[in-house]
Copies of this chain bind each other. A is one copy, B any other.
Amino acid sequence: MIEAAGRELGPKAVVTDRAEMEPWLSDWRGRVHGEAPAMLAPATTEEVAAIVRLAARHRVPLVPQGGNTGMAAGATPPADGSAILLSMRRMKRIRIVDPESRRAVAEAGVILANLHDAANAVGMRFPLTLGARGSCTIGGLTSTNAGGTQVLKFGTMRSLIAGVEAVLPDGSIHNGLSGLKKDNRGYSLDQLLIGAEGTLGVVTAVALRLVPAIAARAVAWTGVGSPSDALALLRFLEARSTAIEGFELVPADSLELVLRHVPGTRPPLGGAHPWHTLIEATTVDPRVDIAAEIEALLAVALNQGLAADAVIANNEAQAEAFWRIRDTISEAERAEGQTLAHDISVAVTDMPRFIIDAKAEVERRFPGVIASGFGHLGDGNIHFHVRAGDHASPDWYEAEGAAITRMVDDLVTAAGGSISAEHGIGQLKRAELERLAPPGRIHALRAIKHALDPLGIMNPGKLVP
Interface residues of A (CB under 8 A from B): 100-101, 144-145, 147, 151, 156, 158-159, 168, 170, 172-175, 178-189, 191-192, 194-196, 200, 235, 345-349, 376, 379-381, 416-425, 433, 437-441, 443-445, 447-448, 450-452, 463-464
Contact = CB atoms under 8 A, between A and B. Distances in A.
Given A182-B147, A346-B180, A418-B183, A441 B188 contact: no
A444 B189 contact: yes
Given A418-B183, A438-B172, A191 B188 contact: yes
Q: Closest 9 CB pairs between A and B?
A: A172-B440, A451-B451, A191-B191, A447-B451, A182-B421, A183-B418, A179-B347, A182-B381, A184-B420
Given A145-B184, A185-B433, 18 more contacts: A101-B348, A147-B182, A172-B441, A178-B418, A180-B346, A182-B421, A183-B420, A183-B421, A184-B195, A184-B418, A184-B425, A186-B425, A186-B437, A187-B195, A187-B196, A187-B463, A188-B191, A191-B194
Contacts of A194: 188, 191
Contacts of A186: 195, 425, 433, 437, 441, 445, 463-464
A440 to B, nearest CB: 3
B195 A440 contact: no
A376 B382 CA distance: 40
A443 B451 CA distance: 10
Contacts of A346: 180
A174 B101 contact: no
Contacts of A440: 168, 170, 172-174
A235 B180 CA distance: 17
Nearest to A430: B186
A91 to B, nearest CB: 20
A226 to B, nearest CB: 18
Contacts of A147: 182
A345 B185 CA distance: 11
A159 B159 CA distance: 8
B185 A437 contact: yes
B444 A168 contact: yes
A376 B180 CA distance: 13
A194 B179 CA distance: 20
Contacts of A192: 187-188, 191-192, 448
A440 B158 CA distance: 23
Contact of A380 (B182, B416, B439): B182
B464 A101 contact: no
A182 B151 contact: yes
A439 B124 CA distance: 37
Contacts of A464: 186
A284 to B, nearest CB: 9
A419 B182 CA distance: 10
A240 to B, nearest CB: 11
A177 B420 CA distance: 16
Contacts of A184: 144-145, 195, 418, 420-425
A178 B416 contact: yes
21 contacts: A100-B235, A101-B349, A144-B184, A168-B440, A172-B438, A179-B416, A180-B346, A182-B381, A182-B418, A183-B420, A184-B420, A184-B421, A184-B424, A186-B195, A186-B437, A187-B192, A187-B195, A188-B191, A188-B192, A192-B448, A448-B452
A381 B235 CA distance: 37
A182 B379 contact: yes
A441 B421 CA distance: 30
Contacts of A172: 438-441, 443
A419 to B, nearest CB: 7
B381 A185 contact: no
B174 A441 contact: yes
Nearest to A451: B451
A174 B423 CA distance: 22
A200 B187 contact: yes
B348 A185 contact: no
